[in-house]
């Protein structure tokens, strides 16, 4: 039987006035660390702002003499280019050299340090100079014109090594300079209070702070030891004393997708990121960093930037930050535009967008789908188990490219060190990526495909499709009830489809309407151009009240015996 593969991208635009979306800040969206480049937001309209790094040593290279030239250039470029701006303030090892002549001890570390030395953070002189600098920074920003001040999205204070939580990378050679958990809390809380005090000016009331901070633990239940205990104590203190709406999280949600062990982190971070803990969802930023140099990304950057973008949205990242040298190639616009579109929209009742990216995931840790009796013991280092799983799905494109990485690496190490993509892993997020749309009985009504379609287009890393021979000819979907209010008077939508036009078969889009719970919205006949094709049509009577097949809101139906394969369904409301 001939199988035709094509992408379906469905965008449903609810008519204006149907649902009022939440006010998302104008600065929310995709950012690029432009360095010294002029950012072209006309060519790349998905760019909302520049992510910068400011070193204390560059501004106050001499005691009490402040040179704001570099900062001001970036602020004025943002104003001229009509984009927003934020910076991470690098202190600690990026403090000016003269502080050591003023009595601040140099701390040499061993094991894991990226710098030759660090200041001793608890030294009174260091604290005094650092707090003075914070005050001068606030004074300078307040002295700018209102237009210049308004380009600020936020500022990320950083107290230790770059923007990381650690004060030292490594262990001080001199034990006198070790910092206890309580001392860590006292130093970081003191610097935090100084930031809030210094920026407590009428001119700066719009500027927020973003912190690289852990989740708050239960009172009296800090389980971490050493520096990690200090980080947790500080996280608790910060959340108890200030409204922390913005935070950083990089590994692994900003740097790739389908990495071994990712499900553990996802279960930990999803509640605060999406407000499932009873609180307001966190706004989360993370930079992509060096991971395009890894073998996974090099195998097919077009696929991997795009699916990383989709993954970041699924996992709750709001501000994805990628180097401008990469952005200005123009090769990955679809990825960056997708990330920008979903920024800040975490709640279904107020989000204008919903999506589901269809994919099957071969998780060797799943003993229900892959019983140990048939596939072998479910441990990550069981290569034989992974090969058996791959062999079962190989005819649908599944492949293990680097078995050593699949069986030995996790997290960021996996994403950077793996030599090739793997379609079998261990401890994976084993489902479709989505926001506010779910597929009903995914594996019972469709089959998965991997590495589908033209490699120079971003969509085909994963896909799902019909399988006529097994009776899987209808894929059903549920739209979150809070996303699609049933009591609204207007039900008009525009549906946009993008599909890989391969073969000559037909499929239909059906939906729950006011008069027919299985109404055909359109039927598509392919022309075998073997290219991704876009088509749009109107629906004016959508009910979306779960009255469709399998209690669905809409479905895709095979109209012949050709096994069509789909990528994405996206919904936008106004």
Q: What is the mean pLDDT of residues 368-379?
A: 98
Q: Could you tell me which residues are beta bridge partners of residue 88?
A: 53, 156
Q: How confident is the model at residue 14 (pLDDT cuts 50, 70, 90)?
A: very low
From CA 317, how far away is CA 253, in angstroms rounded?
7
Q: What is the pLDDT of residues 534-552, one digit of tens each?
A: 777 887 888 989 999 999 9
Q: What are the DSSP calls for 304-325, one per residue?
A: HHHHHHHHHHHHT--EEEEEHH
From CA 156, how far away is CA 134, in angstroms rounded?
12
From CA 362, how far away is CA 372, in angstroms rounded?
14
Q: At what angle do helices 226-241 and 181-198 cross, to 10 degrees?
A: 30
Q: Which pair of structure tokens corresponds to residue 170?
A: 């490594």
Q: Is 70:34 a contact under the CB 8 Å cutoff?
A: no
Q: What is the mean pLDDT of residues 412-426?
A: 97
The radius of gyration computed from the CA coordinates of the chain, to the nearest angstrom, equals: 26
Predicted local confidence at residue 500, as pLDDT: 80
Q: What is the pLDDT of residues 550-562, one digit of tens each?
A: 999 999 999 999 9
Predicted local confidence at residue 219, as pLDDT: 60
When mean pLDDT is compared across 209-213, 247-251, 300-304, 373-377, the lowest value belongs to 247-251
Taking CA atoms, 399 is separated from 172, 263, 418, in Å, by: 46, 21, 14
Q: Could you tell me which residues are beta bridge partners of residue 16?
A: none
From CA 543, how far away is CA 491, in angstroms rounded?
7
Predicted local confidence at residue 450, as pLDDT: 97
Q: How confident is the model at residue 11 (pLDDT cuts 50, 70, 90)?
A: very low
* Phi then psi dihedrals of residue 499, to 5 deg: -140, 155
Predicted local confidence at residue 333, as pLDDT: 98
Q: Is 492:572 a contact under the CB 8 Å cutoff?
A: no
Q: Could you give the percent of the chain with pLDDT greater than 90?
A: 77
Q: What is the pLDDT of residues 107-153, one digit of tens each?
A: 999 886 566 799 999 999 999 999 999 999 999 999 999 999 999 99
Q: Could you give the percent of the chain with pLDDT greater than 70?
A: 92
Predicted local confidence at residue 274, as pLDDT: 94
Q: What is the mean pLDDT of residues 284-295?
A: 93
Predicted local confidence at residue 426, as pLDDT: 98
Beta-strand pair 208-211/152-156: parallel
**Three-class SS string for 116-166?**
CCEECCCCHHHHHHHHHHHHHHHHHHHHCCHHHHCCEEEEECCCCCCCCCC
Q: How confident is the model at residue 18 (pLDDT cuts 50, 70, 90)?
A: very low
Label residue 487 exposed, middle or buried (CB < 10 Å: 0-12, 13-18, 19+).
Answer: exposed
Q: What is the pLDDT of residues 460-504, one digit of tens each?
A: 999 999 999 999 999 999 999 988 765 555 567 777 777 888 889
Q: What is the pLDDT of residues 19-65, one digit of tens each?
A: 344 578 999 999 999 776 789 999 999 999 999 999 999 999 999 99
Predicted local confidence at residue 535, as pLDDT: 77
Predicted local confidence at residue 542, as pLDDT: 85
Q: How confident is the model at residue 423 (pLDDT cuts 50, 70, 90)?
A: very high
Q: Is 474:444 a contact under the CB 8 Å cutoff?
A: no
* Phi then psi dihedrals of residue 48, to 5 deg: -95, -25
Helical (H) or strand (E) element with 283: strand 283-287
Q: At what angle do helices 262-274 and 301-315 cross, to 10 degrees?
A: 50
Q: Is 273:342 a contact under the CB 8 Å cutoff?
A: no
């Amino acid at each position: 039987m001939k199988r035709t593969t094509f992408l379906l991208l469905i965008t449903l635009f609810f008519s204006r006035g149907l649902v009022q979306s939440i006010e998302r800040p104008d600065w929310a969206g995709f950012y690029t660390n432009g360095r010294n480049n002029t950012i072209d937001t006309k060519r790349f309209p998905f760019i909302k702002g520049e992510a910068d790094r400011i070193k204390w040593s560059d501004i106050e290279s001499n005691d009490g003499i402040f040179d704001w030239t570099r900062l001001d250039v970036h602020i004025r470029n943002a104003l001229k280019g009509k984009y927003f701006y934020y910076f991470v303030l690098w202190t600690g090892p990026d403090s000016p050299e003269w502080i050591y002549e003023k009595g601040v001890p140099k701390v040499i570390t061993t094991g894991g340090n990226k710098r030759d030395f660090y200041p001793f953070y608890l030294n009174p002189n260091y604290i005094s100079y650092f707090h003075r600098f914070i005050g001068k920074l606030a004074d300078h920003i307040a002295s700018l014109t209102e237009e210049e001040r308004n380009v600020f999205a936020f500022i990320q204070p950083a107290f230790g090594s770059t923007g990381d939580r650690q004060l030292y990378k490594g262990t001080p050679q001199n034990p006198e300079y070790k910092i206890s958990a309580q001392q860590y809390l006292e130093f970081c809380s003191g610097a935090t209070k100084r930031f809030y005090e210094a920026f407590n000016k009428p001119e700066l009331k719009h500027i927020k702070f973003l912190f690289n901070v852990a989740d708050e633990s239960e009172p009296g239940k800090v389980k971490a030891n050493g520096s990690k205990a200090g980080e947790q104590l500080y996280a608790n203190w910060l959340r108890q004393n200030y409204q922390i709406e913005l935070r950083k999280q990089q590994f692994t949600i900003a740097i790739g997708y389908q990495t071994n062990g990712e499900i553990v982190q996802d279960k930990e971070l999803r509640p605060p990121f999406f407000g499932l803990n009873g609180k307001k969802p966190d706004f989360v930023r993370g930079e992509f960093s060096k991971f395009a140099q890894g073998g996974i990304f090099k195998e097919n950057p077009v696929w991997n930037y795009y699916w990383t973008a989709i993954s970041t949205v699924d996992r709750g990242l709001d501000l994805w930050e990628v180097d401008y040298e990469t952005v200005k190639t123009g090769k990955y616009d679809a990825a960056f535009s997708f990330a920008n579109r979903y920024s800040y929209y975490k709640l279904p009742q107020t989000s204008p967008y919903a999506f589901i990216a269809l994919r099957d995931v071969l998780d060797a840790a799943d003993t229900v789908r892959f019983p140990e009796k048939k596939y072998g013991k479910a441990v990550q280092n069981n290569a034989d188990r992974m090969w058996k799983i791959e062999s079962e799905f190989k005819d649908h494109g599944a492949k293990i490219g680097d078995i050593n990485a699949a069986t030995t690496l996790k997290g960021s190490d996996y994403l950077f060190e793996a030599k090739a993509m793997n379609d079998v892993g261990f401890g994976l997020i084993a489902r479709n990526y989505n926001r506010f749309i779910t597929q009903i009985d995914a594996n019972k009504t469709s089959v998965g495909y991997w590495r589908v379609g033209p490699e120079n287009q971003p969509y085909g890393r994963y896909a799902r499709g019909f399988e006529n021979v097994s009776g899987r000819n209808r894929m059903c979907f549920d739209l979150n009830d809070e996303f699609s209010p049933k009591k609204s008077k207007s039900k008009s939508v525009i549906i946009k489809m993008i599909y890989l036009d391969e073969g000559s078969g037909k499929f239909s889009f059906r939906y729950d309407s006011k008069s027919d719970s299985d109404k055909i919205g359109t039927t598509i006949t392919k022309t075998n151009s073997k290219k991704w094709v876009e088509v749009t049509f109107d629906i004016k009577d959508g009910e979306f009240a779960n009255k469709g097949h399998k209690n669905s809101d809409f479905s895709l139906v095979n109209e012949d015996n050709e096994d069509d394969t789909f990528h994405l369904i996206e919904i936008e409301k106004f």
